[in-house]
């Protein structure tokens, strides 16, 4: 075995274990955040089902950029925006909404989740957290592929091992760049 691989693999082994714990914590946070904290509220307005998402009113232009077919509630500076008031809500649904929060309503669940993600990634701390999460996930995945093919004998030739290592590094950089660019583009919207 080449001398530089011996110690490098020890570091990769340690980082693999560390990123596994980061992924566990990050995934738990992600599920709690988007399944319980920011999960859209389902309501009926004039016989039609809508999904409502609470959002930061200051981010209104960024959250709805490029999307149509929605209503807003409690967004005072959105001139000409399709406003809805509590009188349109059924009595049982009114209790779900706080009068001081801004909401966006859409008939499509997918758009509601998009609004929730755009709003969440408007926070610097969330953007930093998800950046670290993406870096950990990408390293963990590609290092796992490299370790699998090199240690389990899938590839045994030194030449092809080196090629596979380069492909894993390139793949790691490409996927990491894609993930980080999505996060920071949403933050900067």
**What is the band of 1 on the pLDDT scale with cuts at 50, 70, 90?**
very low
The torsion of the CA quartet 127, 129, 134, 139, rounded to 10 degrees, works out to: 140
Please give the mean pLDDT across all residues of the chain: 89
Burial 19-46 (b: 16+ CB within 10 A, else e): beebbeebeeeeeebeeeebebeebebe
- Give percent above pLDDT 90 in the chain: 57
For the chain, list the domains and their CATH numbers.
Answer: 3-34+124-188 (1.20.1300), 39-120 (no CATH)
In the block, which residue shows the tokens 């082994």? 13
Least confident of 11-25, 54-68, 71-85, 94-108: 71-85
Res 80: pLDDT: 59
pLDDT tens digits for 28-49? 999 999 999 999 999 988 889 9
Which residue would you say has higher pLDDT here, 3 or 93? Answer: 93
CA distance 176 to 161: 22
**What is the band of 94 on the pLDDT scale with cuts at 50, 70, 90?**
confident
**What is the band of 136 on the pLDDT scale with cuts at 50, 70, 90?**
very high
Residue 59 has pLDDT above 80, yes or no: yes
pLDDT tens digits for 141-168? 999 999 999 889 899 888 999 999 999 9
- The beta strands (E) that lie in 5-80 are given as 41-45, 48-55, 71-73
Residue 187 has pLDDT above 60, yes or no: yes
Averaged over 67-81, what is the pLDDT?
78
């Amino acid at each position: 075995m080449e001398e530089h691989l011996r110690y490098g693999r020890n570091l990769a082994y340690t980082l693999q274990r560390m990123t596994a714990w980061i992924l566990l914590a990050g995934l738990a946070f992600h599920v709690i955040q988007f399944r319980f904290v920011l999960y859209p509220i389902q309501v009926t307005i004039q016989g039609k089902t809508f999904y409502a998402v609470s959002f930061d009113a200051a981010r209104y232009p960024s959250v709805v950029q490029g999307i149509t077919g929605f209503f807003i509630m409690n967004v005072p500076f959105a001139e000409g925006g399709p406003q809805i008031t509590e009188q349109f809500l059924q009595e049982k649904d009114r209790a779900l909404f706080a009068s001081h929060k801004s909401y966006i309503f859409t008939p499509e669940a997918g758009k509601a989740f998009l609004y929730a993600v755009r709003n969440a990634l408007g926070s610097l701390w969330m953007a930093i957290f998800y950046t670290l999460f993406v870096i950990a996930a990408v390293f963990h995945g590609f290092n796992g592929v490299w370790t699998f093919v090199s240690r389990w004998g899938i590839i045994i030739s030194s030449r092809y091992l080196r090629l596979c290592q380069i492909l894993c590094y390139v793949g790691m950089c490409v996927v990491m760049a894609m993930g980080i660019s999505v996060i920071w583009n949403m933050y900067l919207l």
